Amino acid sequence: MSLSDAARTVRANAYAPYSNFKVGAAIRAASGEVFSGCNVENVAYPEGTCAEAGAIAAMVAAGQTQLTEVYVIADSPAPVPPCGGCRQKLMEFGQADTRVTLATTAGTEISYTLAELLPGAFASAHMDNT
């Protein structure tokens, strides 16, 4: 299954009763396996958890820790970028040149590298003196 298909499919499962804004994400691990996630809202945390975080959690739960490609889709006028926290999580498991494609359900796509989405990312090397 393509990343686009996986993200579109999982987006339908998003739990977004407060915002009605469903997001799906799919990531390809270094093994080639595809993992997906959707946003999940709840009454105590109505902004919910992000689709990208769900896909990463699924990958890690499967014992994998490196991603090579990301695809995110939402029903919005323009492609929606990952939030700051998800950008950092994506960088943790990806590389600066990892491709992230953002899409709308209408078919608009735009692609970035993780370095373009998160310039100056915090990395483990920043803690070398501790």
Q: How far apart are CA 30 and CA 94, in angstroms?
A: 9
Q: Does the active-site annotation cover 52?
A: yes
Q: Do the annotations mark residue 78 as ligand-binding?
A: no
CA distances from 36 to 56, 119, 124, 129 (A): 8, 25, 26, 36
Q: How far apart are CA 130 and CA 16, in angstroms?
A: 41
Q: Do the annotations mark residue 112 as ligand-binding?
A: no
Q: Do the annotations mark residue 38 as ligand-binding?
A: no
Q: Do the annotations mark residue 43 as ligand-binding?
A: yes
Phi, psi of 41 (to 5 degrees): -105, 160
Is the CB of residue 44 less than 8 Å from the CB of residue 4? Answer: no
Q: Do the annotations mark residue 72 as ligand-binding?
A: no
Q: Do the annotations mark residue 50 as ligand-binding?
A: yes
| Residue of 33, 52, 92, 109 with catalytic role | 52
Beta-carbon-side half-sphere exposure of residue 11 (alpha carbons within 13 Å): 22
Q: Do the annotations mark residue 45 as ligand-binding?
A: yes
Q: Which residues are annotated as a binding site for substrate?
A: 39-45
Binding residues for Zn(2+): 50, 83, 86
Catalytically active residues, by annotation: 52
Q: Which residues are annotated as a binding site?
A: 39-45, 50, 83, 86
